[in-house]
Chain A
Amino acid sequence: MAQKFDIEEVRKRFIGMETPPAKGRYPVEHDPIRRHCQMVEDTNPLFLDPEYARRTRWGGVICPPSGWLALYFASLGPWPPAFEPLVPVVPAPGKRIINLSQEVEWFDVIRVGDHLSVRRRIVDVYQKPIGIDPEAVWVVSELVVTNQRDEVVCIIRNTHLFHRTPEEVAAAQQEGQP
């Protein structure tokens, strides 16, 4: 029989936990910005055209203010892949993840050539049932992205949901678990 999941124990161990800083393998580059813009048909020359961007207040190409792109350059970009989970891994009955909400607060722009790092901290962990999983676990995290001068460029707050598949829920219930 599977061991019962103890949310109070997980809360005690993980709330406030911070991961060591991760640093992007490469500086901020033009082409990932171009691909990011391409997916939503964003043709803004501030993000794509070095000549145009040079004549603006920013003095060169900047990243679209997307927390995802900041994280990409701070940790998600390496190939070969180095597993850098978006949030510190919290034990939960389910391994399926959904991102439910995100808040990104910006303090500066990100420029091509910047070299970004990220620190991740667990702010809250709690259990709240969803339709497909009565044991779903919710994780609130805060990610602080800094540049090569150790200046904070943005803070990202995420709420992720960890849940089981319907088959996993059915199997657990056959064993008398929730």
Chain B
Amino acid sequence: MKRPQRYWEDVQVGEELPGFSLEINLRRVIQQVSGTQDWYPLHFDPQFARRAGHQDIFMNTGFLQAALVRVITDWMGDEGFLKKLYFEMRRQQRPGDVMTCKGRVVDKYVRDGQHLVECEVWAENEREGVTTPGRAWVVLPTREGT
């Protein structure tokens, strides 16, 4: 069955992108290493992380990026195209946290013939609030087929 498609005309500034939550636990840490092949011990070895001055291990860039990308790609539909994603790792997602990822449309416009939607996206948790703020620029199809 085809997934729902977002069209540029139907997007409202202020509209929320449905997000999701993921429990950060040992299983997720292992999946993170498997899914990113990032073997830097900061992201799975608590002793290494503490020696570096951190309180604990924390989730890596590839994991956070995949989560923010999912917020966009779940929402935009098969015909959408993520043109640009910017995000900052300001705080950490650690074992014991529940990471929630969300988004919101902040602008829409036509530039160089492309129908663009600009969204805030972010990851947050109860311990630290927003950990990973970001911004995404998405090209959406129009109902007229451009």
Contacts and interface: CB of A to CB of B under 8 A. Distances in A.
Interface of A: 32, 35-42, 44-46, 56-58, 64-69, 72, 76-77, 96-106, 109, 132-133, 163, 165-167
Interface string B84-125: 111111000000000000000000000000000000000000
B31 A39 contact: yes
Given A41-B22, A68-B62, A99 B89 contact: yes
Nearest to B78: A56
B35 A99 contact: no
Determine which residue in A37, A65, A97 has the highest number of CB atoms from chain B within 10 A of its CB, and name it: A65
26 contacts: A35-B31, A36-B36, A36-B62, A36-B66, A38-B34, A39-B32, A39-B35, A39-B66, A40-B35, A40-B63, A57-B78, A68-B36, A68-B38, A69-B66, A72-B36, A72-B37, A96-B42, A96-B53, A98-B89, A99-B61, A102-B87, A103-B85, A103-B86, A104-B86, A105-B84, A106-B83
A103 B60 CA distance: 15
Nearest to A47: B73
Contacts, number: 118
B35 A64 contact: no
A72 B87 CA distance: 19
A20 B31 CA distance: 31
A38 B20 contact: no
Interface string B51-68: 111000000111101110
B62 A35 contact: no
Contacts of B83: 105-106
Interface in B29-50: 31-32, 34-38, 40, 42
A40 B64 CA distance: 9
B31 A38 contact: yes
Given A72-B36, A104-B85, A109-B81, 17 more contacts: A32-B37, A37-B66, A41-B20, A41-B22, A42-B74, A44-B73, A46-B73, A64-B73, A66-B66, A68-B62, A72-B37, A97-B42, A98-B42, A99-B60, A102-B87, A106-B84, A133-B53
A166 B53 contact: yes
